[in-house]
Amino acid sequence: MIIVMGPNATKENIEGVQAKLEREGLRFHLSKGEDRTIVGVIGDKKKIANLEMNMMEGVEKTVRITEKYKLVSRDFHPADSVIDAGGVKIGGDRLVIMAGPCSVESLEQLREAARCVKEGGAQFLRGGAFKPRTSPYDFQGLGDEGLKMLRTVADEFGLKVITEVVDHDDIDLVGAYADVFQVGARNMQNFQMLKALGKARKPVLLKRGLSATISEWLNAAEYIMAGGNENVILCERGIRTYETFTRNTLDLSAVAAVKELSHLPVIVDPSHGTGRWQMVRPMARAAVAAGADGLIIEVHPHPEVALSDGDQSLKPKNFEAVMHEISQIANIMGKTL
């Protein structure tokens, strides 16, 4: 349920509503707009169903929410959320770029990649220290050493760090080096880890699952927000379909759908979404035109020898080209790099 306070509702009216909800053992979430305050009610469904609020002073109306997700819903929070990640704003009128190699392989490789993405205009250095792979024989990442390299190189070039956390036991370790936690597609419904990230408070980039519906994706985000962490960023990275030419099918319609359903920022991953470096540039352009708040792109100085995902990684020259292209589209969309 959401409770819409009238335009003339006083502070005392709002506090009265909050007090009644607390007496009923319910939680609430305040969203203050220019004209109205919305009170989102969370808790026992039976108690909410029997709740009578329309007669309280200052209340304009109540609206029942049919979707299971609440905190991520635009009904609860009509204005777009802007997430602060180490001083970099994600959402609003800024287009954020996260770029770098799929995996951290060496300091030399990471420095080459960081120099390229920084010069191109990226704000975040991405790279995997822990790599969940389909085959147990594929490169699994450098672990702790990879995290240290990421932080060291990012600081050298004035970049923020985004890297994947693959186990809830590693949250504190990864959090010591990262500015943003990345939850990969395979962990989108790892609910124990999502609950733990809800207590971490640091921003979380939540990738859509391999075959997840939009509703399932938003409910996964709800787990994090319900734990108290409101700093959630959604990432469309392609879903599994019958198509085999591309690695996944990049669902850009999901950007428009999520923008309607939720207030959270949406990032698009054209690298995993296609699996082909030749398609990353056109899909990056399309993602910005569709209203994405940013991109996460794989860039490798020498993709032909990459230990993972070389086929979908851009060389520095191609990254420079895509940044030039999307900056023009971003201007049209009212965003700046």
Which distant-in-sequence residues (6+ apart) come within 8 Å of 284 by Cβ? 268, 270, 295, 297, 322, 325, 326
CATH 3.20.20.70 matches 83-332: yes
Q: What is the pTM of this model?
A: 0.89
Quick count: other Cβ atoms within 10 Å of Cβ 30? 14
Query: What whole-number distance in Å separates Cα of residue 290 and Cα of residue 108?
Result: 36
Query: What whole-number distance in Å separates Cα of residue 198 and Cα of residue 232?
Result: 9
168 in Cβ contact with 181 (< 8 Å): no
CATH number at 2-63? 3.30.70.1140
Query: What whole-number distance in Å separates Cα of residue 143 and Cα of residue 263?
Result: 34
Query: What whole-number distance in Å separates Cα of residue 335 and Cα of residue 96?
Result: 10
Burial 164-202 (b: 16+ CB within 10 A, else e): bbbebebbebbbebbbbbbbbbebbbbeebbebbbebeb
The SS3 call for residue 66 is coil
- 270: tokens are 């054209």
Domain boundaries, the chain: 2-63, 83-332
- Tell the residue number behind the tokens 């932080």, with chain if given: 151
Helix, strand, coil percentages in the chain from 3-state DSSP, rounded to 5: 40, 20, 40
Sequential pLDDT tens for the chain (337 residues): 889 989 889 999 999 999 999 998 998 888 887 778 888 888 888 888 888 888 899 998 888 887 889 999 998 888 999 999 999 999 999 999 999 999 999 999 999 999 999 999 999 999 998 866 566 655 556 889 999 999 999 999 999 999 999 999 999 999 999 999 999 999 999 999 999 999 998 999 999 999 999 999 999 999 999 999 999 999 999 999 999 999 999 999 999 999 999 999 999 999 999 999 999 999 999 999 999 999 999 999 999 999 888 999 999 999 999 999 999 999 999 999 8
